[in-house]
Chains A and B, each alone.
Chain A
């Protein structure tokens, strides 16, 4: 059993060894093929002398260098367009036919004139303008500024005159008022007279008061007496009337009659007694009264005279003041009238100037209407010069716009221009005078394009330049041309395809293929050569570096290739 397991193990080891060796043999046999397929496949080209034509390409639109715009000055409807872009015409050829109608500008001008007239008439009829002004304006009697100024000056002088008189009157009034106040201040002293009057009055009152009191009593008694006497008389009258045949109606009774008589006697007695009392009191009381009254009157008169002195003086001043005030009022009235006259004058002047301005505008508008009428275009627009129609900007049925071009012409014999923008770096390679080539030049027989100027591109002044070309030949405005311009071809010793140029932080380089023989065949290794690119065009670059020429340079590969890596060449 031990031998069986040992022999099985030995067989197993032997089989594994055989398999392993077989695999190793196969791998070794096909190692080259396997390795080749794992290597990146590269395409190569020779490094060889060549020419580089570095051109700048661009596209621009042909424009007329001296375009002639055919303009109309009014808005008219285009009836028909007889030319197209590109047509060659002679001077006088009919280009457009317009509808035979009054232009919109003339209509507008007439309407404007009517509006001005209406405005003028409305202002005249508004009532705020004096007839003299209207008459002056209508008759053309205009005044100069100097005349207006002199009239204003006269009005102001009138005002000044009234003002001056008013000022004088006011001075007089103020003086009188001052005087009046002085009078009130310097009145004579009436205290003595007043004291005397008071004394006299007191003395009088001393006598008069009892007398008056007694008199009051006496008067009241007298009134009673009269009343009773009247009663008696009435009674007597009634009695006498009956006697003489009248109706007997007596309202007073006998008792009353008797009483009345008694009362009369009583009151009479009282009166007499009172009088007696007065006489006893002062036998000369009446004369005394009279005397005292006179003294009072005298004292009063003295006082009044003193007072009247002041009043009389004040009255005199007042009367004068009153007169002056009347005068002042009159002058103020005249001043107001003068101010009003000046205001009216200014208003009239403004109105007249306004109306004159309106009249002037009316005259101008009338002239404009007349001018438009004279200039009204006919129905045909003729070619003003001989040349080629560059563009037609209207179509039949469209209205023209006053002041804008309805067509543009290229004068006969004049050239064209073309421009496009390039970067500053591109512009540095160009010089005025260089001739440009046309892309697809076989399409153009006689077209010559020359670089005229290089100027700053206004749309991008910091980074671009505008190349301006002169174009001659069978072209027309609006046509697009594709140009290439640059230096003529230059020859270089070492040129490579652009796809061969690589770059890293050590600069640009190319990878060349170096072959080495080996027991298993040729081995190809990629080797780095640092280069400097001197010029390049669309497909090729001229380089300078450690090359002698005719090396195989790697252009493309199936995988990224690094320097030192083995590669295999493409089978073709």
Chain B
């Protein structure tokens, strides 16, 4: 009997400890997944743009034969302003120059950058709009430039390019030559390293130039990316608007809502698409940041799956315990009611008694005063 009692007690201990471990693992994995999902700055533009969760970041990726041009993007911008006005979405900030939306586009290619010391042929990303608003790369020196600046003869080098061209990273403001035309080094960035980044396409020197520089002096593979952060008054408003009005057929276009891609529901959708997710009939080459994000999606989905498994164990266990307890409970609703009523009556008695005592005490005090 004692042995049975001991073994039962050991079993309970084991269950208890394993439940605790499982819960701890669940919280750990869930935290890791949350940290990972918030670690990609390129996917957090909506949070940076507005704290009130009334905006969405939408990214579009085009196949090389989609024929997207600067003019078509400009045309989309004009229609967007009109659409927002028709939907009574206006800018109510007191800050002059505040914008309802911001966008950016880019094209990949190759370019040759020359300094007095060396010439570097590098992968190039020709940017337009506020690219670095969406992609706040880690700046080591200098500043970002924008496609909306007056001058477009800027470039941003990564550490490798800066080292090859100048032998240093602190080269913001120095001049390089691209296609025989001087360009100003606006800044130097730290290129992301790691297995995922290299697999995503960030495995060699990259230079960021304006789209007009890439188109004029480099080898331009065509605009393959456009993204925008814009008001999202109702769910999917921004996503649907961009998809319908960007002017590219569905076969040549992939639209992603970055804001919610790491939500719990999205993670389960990715798990549900296991096996079919790598399949695609569209000839779209994603830029490196999107490849990284997709890699993170898979990792976070897997972590979420494991976390759910670890959560299921204590949940099932608790459920079983609850059922057992319920079956063997010694109380009922009536007993609880009686207990509570009893408590209440006692409390009321105590209050009455206290009141009586106070009254008696006051009468005595009044008598003494009269006496004095």
Contacts and interface: CB of A to CB of B under 8 A. Distances in A.
B255 interface: no
B41 A532 contact: no
A234 interface: no
B358 interface: no
Interface residues of B, number: 40
Residue from the set A425, A506, A533, A536 with the largest chain B CB neighbour count within 10 Å: A506
B260 interface: no
A498 interface: yes
Interface in B141-186: 142-144, 149-151, 153-154, 172-173, 175, 180-182, 184, 186
B136 interface: yes
A389 interface: no
Interface in A457-473: none
A482 B136 contact: no
A325 B98 CA distance: 112
- Size bin of chain A's contact surface: 20 to 34
B182 A505 contact: no
Nearest to A503: B133
Contact of B136 (A508, A530, A560): A560
Contacts of B172: 539
Contacts of A56: 150-151
A507 B97 contact: yes
Contacts of B149: 536
Nearest to B140: A556
A499 B187 contact: yes
B235 interface: no
Interface in A17-62: 54-57, 59
Given A439-B175, A538-B184, A507 B95 contact: yes
B182 A482 contact: yes
Contacts, number: 83
B143 A532 contact: no
Interface in B29-50: 41, 44, 48-50
A497 interface: yes
B138 interface: yes
Nearest to A59: B181
A558 interface: yes
Given A482-B182, A505-B99, A556-B139, A426 B41 contact: no
Contact of A505 (B49, B173, B180, B184): B49
A55 B153 CA distance: 12
Contacts of A539: 143, 172-173
Contact of A503 (B130, B150, B151): B130
B299 interface: no
B100 A505 contact: yes
A184 interface: no
A538 B175 CA distance: 12
A556 B93 CA distance: 26
B102 interface: yes
Contacts of B91: 505
Nearest to B99: A505
A504 interface: yes
Residue from the set A439, A499, A530, A533 with the largest chain B CB neighbour count within 10 Å: A499
Nearest to B74: A463
Contacts of A357: none
Nearest to B180: A480
A155 B311 CA distance: 121
B99 A426 contact: no
A507 B93 contact: yes
A94 to B, nearest CB: 35
B42 to A, nearest CB: 11
A533 B97 contact: yes
A507 B99 contact: yes
A572 B44 CA distance: 30
A532 B175 contact: no
A90 interface: no
Residue from the set A54, A480, A505, A556 with the largest chain B CB neighbour count within 10 Å: A505
B336 interface: no
B143 A506 contact: no
Given A59-B181, A504-B50, A538-B186, A425 B150 contact: yes
Given A480-B180, A497-B143, A505-B98, A558 B138 contact: yes
Given A482-B181, A499-B144, A505-B55, A532 B97 contact: yes
A555 B182 CA distance: 26
A23 B172 CA distance: 46
B41 A560 contact: yes
A84 interface: no
Given A439-B175, A560-B48, A560-B136, A59 B182 contact: yes
Residue from the set B41, B44, B144, B182 with the largest chain A CB neighbour count within 10 Å: B182
B150 A429 contact: yes
Contacts of A560: 41, 44, 48, 136
Interface string A429-441: 1000000000110
B187 A505 contact: no
A538 B151 CA distance: 9
Residue from the set B91, B96, B144 with the largest chain A CB neighbour count within 10 Å: B96
Nearest to B141: A556
Contacts of A507: 93, 95-99
Contacts of B97: 507-508, 532-533
A224 B150 CA distance: 153
B139 A499 contact: yes
A497 to B, nearest CB: 6
A503 B99 CA distance: 9
A455 B55 CA distance: 42
Interface string A485-511: 000000000000111000111111100
Contact of A532 (B96, B130, B154): B96
Contacts of B187: 499
A38 B95 CA distance: 32
A560 to B, nearest CB: 6
Interface in A554-572: 555-556, 558, 560
Contacts of A55: 151
A502 B150 CA distance: 18
Given A507-B97, A507-B98, A54 B150 contact: yes
Interface of B: 41, 44, 48-50, 55, 91, 93-100, 102, 130, 133, 136, 138-140, 142-144, 149-151, 153-154, 172-173, 175, 180-182, 184, 186-187, 229
3 closest cross-chain pairs (CB), A and B: A507-B95, A507-B98, A499-B143
Given A57-B182, A503-B130, A538-B173, 12 more contacts: A54-B150, A56-B150, A59-B181, A480-B180, A499-B139, A506-B50, A507-B97, A508-B98, A530-B95, A538-B186, A555-B143, A560-B136
28 contacts: A59-B181, A425-B150, A426-B150, A429-B150, A439-B175, A482-B181, A499-B139, A499-B143, A503-B99, A503-B102, A504-B49, A505-B49, A505-B98, A505-B99, A505-B100, A506-B93, A506-B95, A507-B99, A508-B95, A530-B94, A532-B97, A538-B184, A539-B173, A555-B143, A556-B140, A558-B138, A560-B48, A560-B136
